[in-house]
Amino acid sequence: MSGRLSHFHGGLVLRHHKQSSCQPECQSAGIPEQLMLALSTPRGSQSKALVQVGERVLKGQVMAHPDGHFGMVVHAPTSGHISAITEAATARADAPSGPCILLQPDGQDEWLETTPSPLPTDPAAIIERIQAAGIIGMGGAGFPTHIKYQQLQVGPTTLIINGAECEPYISCDERLMLDHPSEIINGTRWLLQAAQADRAIIAIEDNIGGVKSQLDAAIKAQQLADIEVVKVPTIYPTGGEKQLIKVLTGREVPSGQTPLALGLIMQNVATAKAVHDAIEHGRPLLERVVTVTGDSVAEPRNYWALIGTPMRHLLDLAGCDWAQTDKLIVGGPMMGYAMPDADIGIEKTTNCLLALPTACTKPELQAMPCIRCGDCVQVCPQELLPQQLFWYINGNDQTNDLEKAREHHLFDCIECGACSWVCPSHINLVDFYRYAKSEITYLDQKKQKANLAKQRHDDREARLARIKAERQAKRRQKTAKLTDKSSAKQEISAVLARIKQQSKEAADD
Reported as a single tens digit per residue, the pLDDT across 221-244 is: 999 999 999 999 999 999 999 999
> What is the amino acid identity at position 501?
Q
Mean pLDDT of 43-49: 82
**Per-residue b/e over 350-373, b at no fewer than 16 CB within 10 Å?**
bbbbbbbeeebbeeeeeeeebeee
Mean pLDDT of 161-171: 94
Residue 370, pLDDT score:
93
**Structural domain ending residue among the three candidates 284, 316, 338:** 338
219 and 292 inside one domain: yes
Residue 174, pLDDT score:
96
Q: How many domains does the chain have?
A: 2
- Is the whole-model pTM more than 0.75? yes
What percent of the chain clears pLDDT 90, i.e. is strictly above it? 75
Cα–Cα distance between 21 and 153 in angstroms, integer?
Answer: 41
Residue 484, pLDDT score:
67
Q: At 473, phi and psi to the nearest 5?
A: -65, -40
- Structural domain includes residue 343: no
CATH of the domain at 276: 3.40.50.11540
Longest dimension (CA), the chain: 139
260 and 397 inside one domain: no
- Structural domain includes residue 359: no
Q: For residue 87, what is the DSSP state?
A: E
The CA-CA-CA angle for residues 288, 63, 189, to 5°, reads 45
**Structural domain ending residue among the three candidates 322, 338, 354:** 338
- Structural domain includes residue 356: no
CATH of the domain at 374: 1.10.1060
Q: What is the 3-state secondary structure (H, E, C) of 272-326?
A: HHHHHHHHHHCCCCCEEEEEEECCCECCCEEEEEECCCEHHHHHHHCCECCCCEE
162 and 263 inside one domain: yes
Please determine, for residue 381, whether its predicted confidence score (pLDDT) is greater than 90.
yes
453 and 322 inside one domain: no
292 and 427 inside one domain: no
Residue 153, pLDDT score:
67
Strand 56-57, strand 80-89: pairing: antiparallel
Asked whether the beta carbons of 133 and 278 are under 8 A apart, the reply is yes
**Structural domain ending residue among the three candidates 318, 338, 358:** 338
Residue 271, pLDDT score:
96
386 and 332 inside one domain: no
Q: At 483, phi and psi to the nearest 5?
A: -60, -40
77 and 146 inside one domain: yes
What Å distances lie between residue 259 and 148, 202, 245, 459, CA to CA? 10, 16, 8, 40
pLDDT tens figures, 427-469: 999 999 999 998 998 899 899 999 999 999 999 999 999 999 9
Confidence of residue 509 (pLDDT cuts 50, 70, 90): low
300 and 405 inside one domain: no
- Structural domain includes residue 363: no
292 and 375 inside one domain: no
Please determine, for residue 187, whether its predicted confidence score (pLDDT) is greater than 90.
yes
100 and 189 inside one domain: yes
Cα–Cα distance between 197 and 248 in angstroms, integer?
Answer: 16
The whole domain housing 278 covers 19-338
- Structural domain includes residue 316: yes
443 and 320 inside one domain: no
- Structural domain includes residue 344: no
Residue 245, pLDDT score:
96
Cα–Cα distance between 115 and 113 in angstroms, integer?
Answer: 7
- Structural domain includes residue 353: no
Please name the residues in contact with 471: beta carbons below 8 A apart, sequence gap of 6 or more.
Answer: none
Cα–Cα distance between 241 and 371 in angstroms, integer?
Answer: 31
Cα–Cα distance between 78 and 87 in angstroms, integer?
Answer: 21
310 and 451 inside one domain: no
- Note if the bond before 237 is cis, omega within 30 degrees: yes
- Structural domain includes residue 350: no
pLDDT tens figures, 51-101: 999 999 999 999 999 987 788 999 999 999 999 999 999 998 888 999 999
97 bridge partner residues: 89
